Amino acid sequence: MKEKFYVTTAIVYTSQKPHIGNVYEIVLTDCIARYKRQRGYDVYFLTGTDEHGQKIQNHAEKAGISPKEYVDGIAGGIKDMWKLFGISNDGFVRTTDENHVKTVQKIFKKLYDQGDIYKGAYEGMYCTPCESFWTSAQLKDGCCPDCGGPVSPAKEEAYFLRLSKYQDRLIEYIESHDEFITPTARKNEMLNNFLRPGLQDLCVSRSTFNWGIPVTFDDKHVIYVWVDALSNYITHIGYDTEAPTEQYKKLWPADLHVIGKDIVRFHTIYWPIILMALGEPLPKKVLGHPWLLVGEDKMSKSKGNALYGDKLIEQFGLDRIRYYLLSELPLLNDGSITYENVISRCNTDLANIYGNLVSRTASMISKYFDGVIPAPADATDKDEGLYAAAAECKALFTGKMDEYRVAEAVSAVVTFLKACNKYIDDTAPWVLFKNPNDKGKLATVLANLVEGIRQACVLLYPYIPDSSDKVAAIYGFEGEGREYDSVGSFTYSATGKTVKAAGVLFARIDEKEFFDKLAAERAAEEAKKQPAKEEKKEEFPTINIDDFAKVHLIACKVLECEAVPKSDKLLRLIVDDGAGKRQVVSGIAKFYKPEELVGKTLVLVENLAPVKLRGVESCGMILASGEETVRVVELSDAIAPGTRIR
């Protein structure tokens, strides 16, 4: 029977679309879940959405819809985002789920009945975004110590959870269970900053808004975020105050809660105390991961520096972004995301090191062995060095992944891939190919390279699953060849298979081309934001009556008309101007046949200086109007030639 592994993320607050900093947590947890499945665990991976609270009620009111309609839309978008990132979660909990609502009501009632929740009143400074009350001493420069935002005085009747009752018991538990909080710095922070100074009882209901789970025995109150949201980890898998389900008995306690460092306090103080009060075991481990910053700043929609996962996938591709997220953040320190860093890391690790190895090896097998993966011959010292590098890689990778240090784990794979590329340089297959006596050595080199790629393919699967599947398809890795236990030793399971055309696994990103395109997109977006401008008519200089009087306009009658030779635009007209005949050239050949103009009375600019057009002298100008379709200005036949137009 497989050993179970129950892993959860913090549930996402449905106030707005999650940015890439929020997405990091789900990708990290997905990587861990995939790794544990590779190791043979029976994994249950839970994520979800936190959908109650004053902030959501405010957002819904501004949008003119009900809170449920509002959270339905946001939750749907979050599910779509997780699907876009290839997240392999087994469950998705919403705090508006009927089962969750009913179970939370039972939990609240049980804690109330046994005296762990009591009714009182709260007066303090309240932060709406964090939905937290603070004492004046807890404020930082008069603002919320968590988000730095403004707070306002608030007083209301509320129910409280007796944290103080369980304080000493929790301190003892944390001190005797070193594995409970990781990294250790988070554990020390909880003990020194919160537990040892003494806990204040926790407000667990609200009466100033109604978007929440109602307290069954007091309709003025809704259950506040801590009992509501934190309980999702047990309500979804079948906890019940009276008769927990078999699934709950199988999965609880959770093996790992993956959360951001900013909510460690809620998961290592509030949540354990709720569980202690319920008589339930505590989760085995709480991992408080660091933040993903934009440059050096915390990502925030209000700051205007938020990057979003769907756009980044559009710009770089799914596996590049997954790889960057999982290779960038160490366990202890915050990481950073910039376009420059993504391009640099992906070009180096994925294109130059991994992708190049995959394509070079496939190309050499196609060239030297007609595309068939050869069997190895006798090993040399250089081969033994590669075997040792593979064994070292697996040991280091496994150790780091078991500690959830995913960035350090993947670094071990990159080191091994570099060793594979160096192995090519050291063995020089192109030289071996020239000597028929070295065919066995050449076969060994290429067989070993395929094995190196196979092992990297297995180890990288939790990070870049789609690309790992592509590599497996190129070389025919399947079955035992894709199992974790096969890594570290050279089994040559793909021997005799025909490699497929590798193509380019990870194309290099041209940084200049990327930023030129980005600049053009941003310019287009800004242009869309600008209000539509009315088309301005062509402006001309103002003239006075004396200027206008200089232009002599008269009536003229067309006597003859023909096309100007070697021109498709010009017509030559002979007109009667009242004093005799005059020759005029006009660019209206595309709009009139010569015979259509003969006999018409038109308007002539009489005193225009003569010019030659295509060698034909023009003494005057025929008035016409229009752009795409040009029409001459016609006068009544009753107007005699030479009549002045005023």
Across 127-136, 156-165, 218-227, 290-299, least confident range: 127-136
Q: Which CATH number is correct for 545-645, 3.30.465.10, 1.10.3720.10, 2.40.50.140, 3.30.70.3340? A: 2.40.50.140
Distance CA 16, CA 63 (A): 12
Mean pLDDT of 375-394: 95
Do residues 54 and 70 make contact, with C-beta atoms less than 8 angstroms apart? no
Prior bond of 253 cis (ω within 30°):
yes
Statement: the pTM of the whole predicted model exceeds 0.85:
no
H or E stretch covering 397: helix 381-402
Average of per-residue pLDDT values in the chain: 93
Is the link from the previous residue into 183 a cis peptide, with omega within 30 of 0?
yes
The answer to whether residues 617 and 611 touch, using CB atoms and an 8 Å cutoff, is yes
617 contacts: CB under 8 Å, gap ≥ 6: 583, 585, 610, 611
Mean pLDDT along residues 177-182: 96
When pLDDT is cut at 50, 70 and 90, the band that residue 155 belongs to is confident
CA angle, 271 then 272 then 274, to 5°: 65
Cα–Cα distance between 254 and 252 in angstroms, integer?
5
User: In the structure, what pLDDT confidence band is assigned to residue 646 with cuts at 50, 70 and 90?
Assistant: confident
List the 152-161 sheet strands across, edge first. Answer: 132-134, 117-127, 152-161, 202-203
Strand order in the sheet with 292-294: 297-298, 292-294, 335-337
**Domain covering 338-486 in this structure, CATH number:** 1.10.730.10
Q: What is the average pLDDT across 168-179?
A: 97
| Whether residue 393 has pLDDT greater than 70 | yes
Domain ranges of the chain: 338-486, 545-645
* pLDDT in the model for residue 573: 94
